[in-house]
Chains A and B, each alone.
Chain A
Amino acid sequence: MESSSSLKGSALGKLVVTSGLLHSSWSKILEIHNPPYSNHDPGLQVSKKKKDSGLEFQIHREEKFTLVVFSAPPICRSSSSDSTLLHVKDKENPFPFLCSENNPSFSLHTPAFNLFTSASTSLTYLKSELLQTLKSEKPVIITGAALGGSVASLYTLWLLETIEPTLKRPLCITFGSPLIADASLQQILENSVRNSCFLHVVSAQTRIKMDFFKPFGTFLICFDSGCVCIEDHVAVTELLNGVHDSGLVDYSQVLNRLDQSMLSLADSRLIPEDVIKGIEKRAEMKNLRFDMMFKKLNDMKISMAYIEWYKKTCKEVKIGYYDRFKTQLAFPSKEFDINIKNHHKSELNRFWKSVVEEVERRPQSDASILKRRFLFSGNNYRRMIEPLDIAEYYLEGRKEYRTTGRSHHYVMLEKWFGMESILIEKERCKKRDLSDLLTFDSCFWAEVEDSLIVINQLNTTVGMRDDVREVLTRKLVEFEGYMWEIITKREVSPEIFLEESSFMKWWKEYKKIKGFNSSYLTEFMNTRKYESYGKSQ
């Protein structure tokens, strides 16, 4: 029995061939290369051939879809392997949105890129026109042969930036076109839904040099007796990589042969066994990575439930979960505490680090979808768990967590939440009971610890210079200001006022230094107003 990947490859190939899309595209490509003498097609728009660059395109409005055909002059051999490097920060870069956190730059095939930029004015105009078409629910095919197909690919990539996920995705069909992307761009697209918008038709006899430029999208590889459709780019490389073959392929013939092969019963095996095995292995890995992430999200919620419970039991013995965790770290006693640290906390950290990595691998515009999906659980996680990481950090005798000790994934989660939550209208009720609130600033405890260290320095250093003393005192005043702000904004959990908490320890020390100087905070603390903080009124 043949494997399912091979069946899938051939079924997908048959679907593509019987759908008739290849014929529609190819006939228009023929037309642009050999224009008929009189053209009365009312749906046709022809752009003037640009003398300097030689790029040309036509729009055909068909009944079911709109077709854009690109045509470019034959490629000059000497420049065929030149590449242009584009960085996310380049002003000249038309594709900054494709860059990911991991791949801030990539290179493109220079001849295609130059043709593309040379026509930027008319292409910008075309873009707004196509967007209108897509919004009216009519899909768009962008096509071209040889270098024309490469420009079509570039153009499609560019168009994709402005296409919202709710619109129909365009399809780019190329025939025997040179590859345009380097390994970085291939990697970026591999993790993107954009990859699904490219169909490259190639004859199996063609050999493509793949030492610098890499394939992306789906390939329809045409043999004499049939065809296969493959997305796996490693397999595509295995099947097509080789010394450049200058022999021109006539795709009219290739398509005709495909048509005939549809009716025949021949079931020849088109792809070697080992290539198929590779495809299967990689598909499985990719699925696993994805399934894991979503399945795990639920396991993570369970771990969060454990930690929520931990927080609750701590409150009952008048100590916040932050301080309880800190003392338990120093003197572990109960199994439950150890479990929290070794199991739940570390599982949660590992999971969220991998989510952040996954997001960073994607193009910026794709990543936002994933971010939104994980937004609230990620934020909840950060507010709940980061204090525990802070506890570990200060117990090791270190300081200044926010600037020197913070893990990258917390920074990113906070950044994303900040960006996304602006979009959500917030209406916080003044009367609400805050007892289950998680402190908004997940680095709150680091501020408290740093401030405690400052007090300690002031109290224990003998013969401190006045200017040093002044700097340290200013730090304390700044912290007081910060405290008062989050209290008035009701953004801090009432747990910090529990008797045994580090914050209360800070207050006792701070009171001595402050003496009789009165402020909002001292008044709030001295008159024990904090006891009613966060209670529902």
Chain B
Amino acid sequence: MAFEALTGVNGDLVTISWMASKGANQTEHYLKEEVGGTVFFAFRASFSSEDLFATENTSPFGEIKMKRNQFPCMRSIGNDVDTTVNEAFLKSLEVLIGPRTSFHASVQSAVDRKQQVVFTGHSFGGATAILATVWYLETYFIRDAYAAPEPRCVTFGAPLVGDYIFKHALGRENWSRFFVNFVTRFDIVPRIMLARKTTIEQTLSYVLGKLDSTRAPIHESDQVITEFYTRVMRDTYTVASKAVCQLIGNGEAFLETLSSFYELSPYRPVGTFVFSTQKRLVVVNNSDAILQMLFYTCQSNDEQELSVIPFLSIRDHHGYEELVQSIGIKLLNHLDLHNPLLDGENSIGSALDDLGMSTRARQCIHAALEAEKQRCQAHKNGYYDSFKDSNEENDFKANVKRVELAGIFDEVLGLVKKGQLPDGFEGSRGWINLATQYRRLIEPLDISNYHGQLKNEDTGPYMLHGRPSRYKYAQRGYEHDILKPTGMIAKDVFWSKVNGLNLGLQQDIQEILKNSGSECGSCFWAEVEELKGKPYEEVQVRFKTLEGLLEGWIKDGEVDEKEIFLEGSTFRKWWNTLPDSHKIHAPLYPRERMMDETRAT
């Protein structure tokens, strides 16, 4: 069925999710439902304002950074920044997976039995479902992709949960496809997180009371609701306008100056969105386009309709039962790269008509889709292939190649940092391997060039000022990829290795190893260049660290062992000057002897 092809879930799964979500509101935390081998976890929606904005949180949107050691994948590799999410939502996840509920154990048992899990929720319960899915992906799915089946996350009128990096990281890991969000046309809740806390604070509790369906019915002329709606949409408009300016580019300096004077919501849509109107369902995957739609679908040509939209924005929050029943009955449209025809003739055009999208609105959507197209084109332009043939015999050609490759890599890195490549690009194994190969092969050349041209005398040590960010980036991507299944982060792993060498207290060593090439295998030569010529006593700790880590680097393929022990190598020459007392106890000693013997025979 077309619906399943577009969203990754079928109508039955959605129906069961909805029933479970409704049922969850009668529970304290969550409801577990098992249907045909699939386990559904539905989360209760809370309508108190502390569950929307954490009480002690002073950020303008109640946001907080996710902890890297708990969610190692939820960050950007290019810019090395962690994900921001709503703190109140994160807290309800923490309660859920904590010892006070049986949730963790229930998921564990489903994983043990290799059952598919679906996380679901209506309203604020949907936010919990999204974070629970991320938690599942980080805790189970990533560790052993064969054992834990792909999860699904189905939300109904859920608020936005995380920022651009949240969206980017899920895209990079190819996890966005697990998320499906249903939104009735005017529902206010998916838009609430786009407003500043200060602008809605006063009326929030009142409106949340109205959103809670167990309370008294609402009136069309409720002024508080109109006020609340207007404030939310105004902020949403600011966010949407800023996004369009950024999509189109040009004049960034003015935007940047302007940006310190207002606060804009960091939250962005994640996964697939299904918007519903009276006659049809419109499926959208592009996060930028969804953001525009969250604003523009609330406009209307009809004066009378316009005046009741604030009322509809509350009523529609309870329109999901009808939506779920209409799957398979209503017309289905897909708004994507391949059908962005924005004129009224064809079906996608009339779908946009149904959603009340004006010409201006269509242009904004078009800009979003166009940006996506450009990202894909940049990807296809073959950054990849120009990189593949690298190792040249001739050292002159190698030098030219080195500079050429650096140019290409820097260009890719520039695109990555600005988010101008598809999210999945950085996560693809092919790219990570290529970047790693490049780093291992070419960085030593850069180091030798740096020291050959005596730049360390002009600019200082390589690790402090000389190391190009492309290698730092390649290193982050590599470490992320190998550590992902372990759930650990690179810094901790490095220090546990160094501490294992028993050279002293970590805080002392930390000071000594500042700007040391031991941070990364491909910087081996930079460390050798820095240490050679200095008295042994002075650099003992740094050298022992290097030596201690070398074994691991050789094993991982970071350093070529044959090369470093060659008779004429800088390392070998320096090694020969070391005191015997050091050599005999050094972990390298037997290896060095062995190499000598093989050469002698």
A: which residues have CB within 8 A of B?
1-2, 4-5, 7-8, 10-12, 14-16, 18-21, 64-65, 139, 141, 168-169, 171, 193, 195-197, 199, 218, 231, 262, 265, 267, 283, 287, 298-299, 301-302, 305-306, 308-309, 312, 376, 380, 421, 424-429, 431-432, 436-437
> Cα distance A14–B402 when bound, in Å?
47
Q: Which of B250, B364, B459 is packed against the most chain A CB atoms within 10 Å?
A: B250
Q: Which residues of chain A are near B455, meaning CB under 8 Å?
A: 376
Contact A302:B262 (CB < 8 A) given known A8-B245, A19-B238, A267-B360: no
Contact A12:B454 (CB < 8 A) given known A196-B256, A265-B301: no
> Cα distance A299–B404 when bound, in Å?
8
Interface residue from B241, B261, B359, B403 paired with A11 (Cβ < 8 Å): B241
Q: Which of A169, A299, A376, A421 is packed against the most chain B CB atoms within 10 Å?
A: A169
> Cα distance A421–B258 when bound, in Å?
35
Interface residue from A193, A195, A301, A376 paired with B403 (Cβ < 8 Å): A301
Contact A1:B363 (CB < 8 A) given known A11-B241, A169-B257, A298-B407: yes
> Cα distance A231–B363 when bound, in Å?
21
Interface of A, secondary structure class, is: helix
B104 within 8 A of A: no
Tell me which residues from 218 to 255 in chain B have a Cβ below 8 Å from any Cβ of chain A. Answer: 234-235, 237-238, 241-242, 244-245, 248, 250-251, 253-255
A305, B403: Cβ atoms under 8 Å? yes
- Give a binary string over B438-460; 1 marks a CB under 8 Å from any A CB, 0 the rest: 00000000000000111101111
A428, B457: Cβ atoms under 8 Å? yes
> Cα distance A311–B358 when bound, in Å?
65
B364, A262: Cβ atoms under 8 Å? no
A301, B407: Cβ atoms under 8 Å? yes
* B296: nearest chain-A partner, CB-CB: A265
Can you name 14 A-B residue pairings with CB atoms under 8 Å?
A1-B366, A8-B250, A11-B241, A12-B251, A15-B245, A19-B261, A141-B261, A193-B253, A231-B251, A299-B407, A302-B400, A305-B399, A424-B460, A425-B460
Q: Which residues of chain B are near A196, meaning CB under 8 Å?
A: 251, 253-254, 256-257
A429, B363: Cβ atoms under 8 Å? no
A431, B258: Cβ atoms under 8 Å? no
- Give the interface size bracket for B toward A: 35 or more
Q: Distance (Å) between the CB of B552 and the closest chain A CB? A: 32
Tell me which residues from 522 to 541 in chain B have a Cβ below 8 Å from any Cβ of chain A. Answer: 533
Interface residue from A8, A18, A262, A432 paired with B244 (Cβ < 8 Å): A8
Q: Which residues of chain B are near A65, meaning CB under 8 Å?
A: 260-261
B: which residues have CB within 8 A of A?
234-235, 237-238, 241-242, 244-245, 248, 250-251, 253-258, 260-263, 299-301, 342, 358-360, 363-364, 366-367, 396, 399-400, 402-404, 406-407, 410, 452-455, 457-460, 533
> Cα distance A267–B358 when bound, in Å?
8
* B235: nearest chain-A partner, CB-CB: A18
Interface residue from B251, B256, B262 paired with A20 (Cβ < 8 Å): B262
B257, A12: Cβ atoms under 8 Å? no
Q: Distance (Å) between the CB of A5 and the closest chain B CB? A: 8
> Cα distance A433–B300 when bound, in Å?
76
> Cα distance A4–B370 when bound, in Å?
11
Q: Distance (Å) between the CB of A419 and the closest chain B CB? A: 15
Q: Distance (Å) between the CB of B522 and the closest chain A CB? A: 21
B244, A11: Cβ atoms under 8 Å? yes
> Cα distance A427–B262 when bound, in Å?
47
* A536: nearest chain-B partner, CB-CB: B533
Q: Which residues of chain B are near A421, meaning CB under 8 Å?
A: 458
Q: Which residues of chain A are near B452, meaning CB under 8 Å?
A: 436
Q: Distance (Å) between the CB of B69 and the closest chain A CB? A: 29
Q: Distance (Å) between the CB of B304 and the closest chain A CB? A: 14
B363, A171: Cβ atoms under 8 Å? no
Q: Which residues of chain A are near B453, meaning CB under 8 Å?
A: 380, 436
B400, A195: Cβ atoms under 8 Å? no
